[in-house]
Amino acid sequence: MSATDWTLEEQTVARHAFELGKHRSITALINTLQEQSSQLDSAESVWKLHDYLSTERYQYEGRSEFEESNVLFVLADMIKQKLIAMDDLQGLDQKKVSKIKAMSMF
């Protein structure tokens, strides 16, 4: 979708949901890292934590830029990961909400 497909209100709603999801993903990551780091007891466990963090960084960076052209996919992924809820999308056109909901099921 291009920027012309979004009203100003929809852009605001989508951006807010996007930022909320990013914030929640970092909060969840910090909580997980605190828990996992307290259980480090070997070199293998350190490398496993490193691999986990590398994967999380890759995923985070993949959704760190807000672009109208792919925001439906990103929001659907955030719903799938329970970083945002459908209620966070109130104010979006029903077609966009339906697309996000459908994409979040896969």
State the Cα–Cα distance between residues 24 and 81, nearest whole angstrom: 10
10-residue averages of pLDDT along the chain (106 residues): 80 96 95 95 96 93 84 94 96 96 94
Residue 65 confidence (pLDDT): 84
The token pair at 38 is 């307290």
Residue 3 has a pLDDT of: 54
CB 104 within 8 A of CB 76: yes
- The reported pLDDT for the residue numbered 4 is 64
Nearest-angstrom CA–CA distance, 56 and 36: 14
Instruction: Give the chain's domain count.
Output: 1
Tokens representing residue 68 in the block: 């109208």
22 Cβ contact list (under 8 Å, min separation 6) = 60, 63, 64, 83
Q: What range does the domain containing 49 cover?
A: 3-103
